[in-house]
Homo-oligomer: A and B are copies of this chain.
């Protein structure tokens, strides 16, 4: 421990190291509930690539585990500390190094806040689509580590699709450059994509070249009320089958709508079993919303309400964005699931989830990126109630099993971390797990990077 601090201090300024246990403890975990978290030996907050390299060289020399962190807004415990580790927080490396409208790229350090990048590129008429709910807080480095999604994905895809190239400090401190700053490039294996979603287990991202899009027109939102989840999911399929490309296609169940109303007095319709939000950022969004409204009605919507203007649209988006937070007020604790199924199986997923809630005697609110088949069932429970806690955990697992059975995945966008590491092998299978271990071995032979998580 003394060796560790002494060596770290040799290459880092004093204010880049935190050893006060009261403060380091606050770096021990991300926003996931009920995930184990250890006590870090030290928190390092480097400002340069060389400082990151120094941390990794030190960790390698002393065989000390390193847990990389962004803003710790993750929902799977992937950023949770292990006992005696170096927490490597990248939040001080927060410079936007370049924005090029001609090349439609931005070059950023990992600590840049998602919303800060969005605003900065917006000033150039550009658009960085990935928009996880935590976008006002989360970092681009964290987004890359967890392969974050958001509301935009149904039209614009996930973080992975915007990462063109990376600078990565490897476990032994060497610097690797991957990918390219060109629109296309196929020289060698796709190492860039291998790092995206690897949850800090293969290397430390210290720079990223990101692809940008031109800024679209502001989106207009429609709200449609359905008498049940099946009808709402039928509408989702009709919309996508008809060739529409909404910029957002979201679903909130009654539990979620009520929770949002209770928290923010939104005046959302509480009688609906499922509220579907669809948006378009096309040149003529009203026409697209009218067409989608008809499809909703045909699928059984009891009311279809297009927003009058962007202010009303923004209010509906706010309602959706606060869903997880609102559901957290239903009971003292929640477990947030993240199962993604093929869009055509979304109805079965929601019905199955309702059956699980009933079987286990729990409230499970569901909001979903419906256009992507990505559901967030939120299991609400009281941790002081041992039996309810057990049922919560079991229902959480039952939801993942349901998703896998429907041809889905245990995680659409939140990642594996500590929360789902037992389930990862079930989804991947033995052959895949063996190859994952081989890749981990090639990048981090001493197993120092974020141990006890994905791989």
Q: Which residues of B contact A153 (CB under 8 A)?
A: 183-184
**CB-contact partner of A412 in B178, B181, B185, B214, under 8 A:** B185
Q: Is A302 part of the binding interface, using a Cβ–Cβ cutoff of 8 Å?
A: no
List A405-451 residues whose CB lies under 8 Å from chain B: 407-416, 420, 424, 427-429, 431-432, 435-436, 438-439, 441-443
Of all chain B residues, which has the CB nearest A178? Answer: B432
Q: Is A161 part of the binding interface, using a Cβ–Cβ cutoff of 8 Å?
A: yes
Q: Which residues of B contact A409 (CB under 8 A)?
A: 180, 182, 184-187
Q: How far is the CA of A198 from the CA of B193 in the complex (A)?
A: 13
Indicate if the CB atoms of B198 and A189 lie closer than 8 Å.
yes
Indicate if the CB atoms of B428 and A188 lie closer than 8 Å.
yes
Q: Which residues of B contact A190 (CB under 8 A)?
A: 160, 190, 193-194, 196-197
Indicate if the CB atoms of B436 and A189 lie closer than 8 Å.
yes
Q: Is A241 part of the binding interface, using a Cβ–Cβ cutoff of 8 Å?
A: yes
Q: Is A237 part of the binding interface, using a Cβ–Cβ cutoff of 8 Å?
A: yes
Interface size grouping (class) on chain A: 35 or more
Indicate if the CB atoms of B184 and A189 lie closer than 8 Å.
no
Q: How far is the CA of A144 from the CA of B455 in the complex (A)?
A: 27
Q: Which residues of B contact A160 (CB under 8 A)?
A: 190
Indicate if the CB atoms of B102 and A241 lie closer than 8 Å.
yes
Q: How far is the CA of A341 from the CA of B185 in the complex (A)?
A: 9
Q: How far is the CA of A48 from the CA of B177 in the complex (A)?
A: 39
Q: Is A373 part of the binding interface, using a Cβ–Cβ cutoff of 8 Å?
A: yes
**CB-contact partner of A372 in B100, B184, B202, B243, under 8 A:** B184
Q: Which residues of B contact A244 (CB under 8 A)?
A: 214
Q: Which residues of B contact A177 (CB under 8 A)?
A: 429, 432
Question: Which stretch, A51-59, A168-176, A253-261, A319-327, touches the partner chain B?
Answer: A168-176
Q: Is A343 part of the binding interface, using a Cβ–Cβ cutoff of 8 Å?
A: yes
**CB-contact partner of A102 in B170, B197, B344, B411, under 8 A:** B344
The answer to whether residues A432 and B191 also contact, given A342-B182, A438-B443 and a CB cut-off of 8 A, is: yes
Indicate if the CB atoms of A240 and B188 lie closer than 8 Å.
no
Q: Which residues of B contact A185 (CB under 8 A)?
A: 340, 409, 411-412
Indicate if the CB atoms of A344 and B100 lie closer than 8 Å.
yes
Minimal beta-carbon separation of A306 from chain B (angstroms): 19
Q: How far is the CA of A194 from the CA of B125 in the complex (A)?
A: 33
Of all chain B residues, which has the CB nearest A146? Answer: B186
List A365-397 residues whose CB lies under 8 Å from chain B: 369, 371-374
Indicate if the CB atoms of A438 and B435 lie closer than 8 Å.
no
Minimal beta-carbon separation of A406 from chain B (angstroms): 9
Indicate if the CB atoms of A245 and B187 lie closer than 8 Å.
no
Of all chain B residues, which has the CB nearest A237? Answer: B102
Indicate if the CB atoms of B432 and A176 lie closer than 8 Å.
yes
Q: Which residues of B contact A330 (CB under 8 A)?
A: none
**CB-contact partner of A442 in B372, B374, B438, under 8 A:** B438
Indicate if the CB atoms of A343 and B146 lie closer than 8 Å.
no
Q: Which residues of B contact A193 (CB under 8 A)?
A: 190, 193-194
Q: Which residues of B contact A283 (CB under 8 A)?
A: 283-284
Q: How far is the CA of A136 from the CA of B244 in the complex (A)?
A: 28
Indicate if the CB atoms of B187 and A103 lie closer than 8 Å.
no
Q: Is A66 part of the binding interface, using a Cβ–Cβ cutoff of 8 Å?
A: no
Q: How far is the CA of A237 from the CA of B443 in the complex (A)?
A: 38
Indicate if the CB atoms of B245 and A214 lie closer than 8 Å.
yes
Q: Is A104 part of the binding interface, using a Cβ–Cβ cutoff of 8 Å?
A: yes
Contact with B along A224-245 (1 / 0, CB 8 A): 0000000000000100110111
Q: Supply 18 further A-B pairs (C-beta < 8 A) apart from A103-B344, A283-B283.
A: A103-B343, A158-B184, A180-B409, A182-B340, A182-B374, A183-B343, A184-B340, A185-B409, A186-B197, A187-B410, A187-B428, A188-B416, A188-B455, A189-B454, A190-B196, A191-B432, A438-B439, A439-B439
Can you spell out 30 A-B residue pairs with CB atoms less than 8 angstroms apart? A101-B241, A102-B237, A102-B241, A102-B344, A103-B342, A103-B343, A153-B183, A176-B435, A177-B429, A178-B432, A183-B340, A183-B371, A183-B373, A184-B409, A185-B409, A186-B413, A188-B424, A188-B427, A188-B436, A189-B194, A190-B190, A190-B193, A191-B435, A191-B436, A214-B243, A435-B443, A438-B439, A438-B441, A439-B442, A442-B442
**6 tightest A-B CB contacts, nearest first:** A438-B442, A214-B243, A193-B193, A185-B409, A183-B372, A102-B344
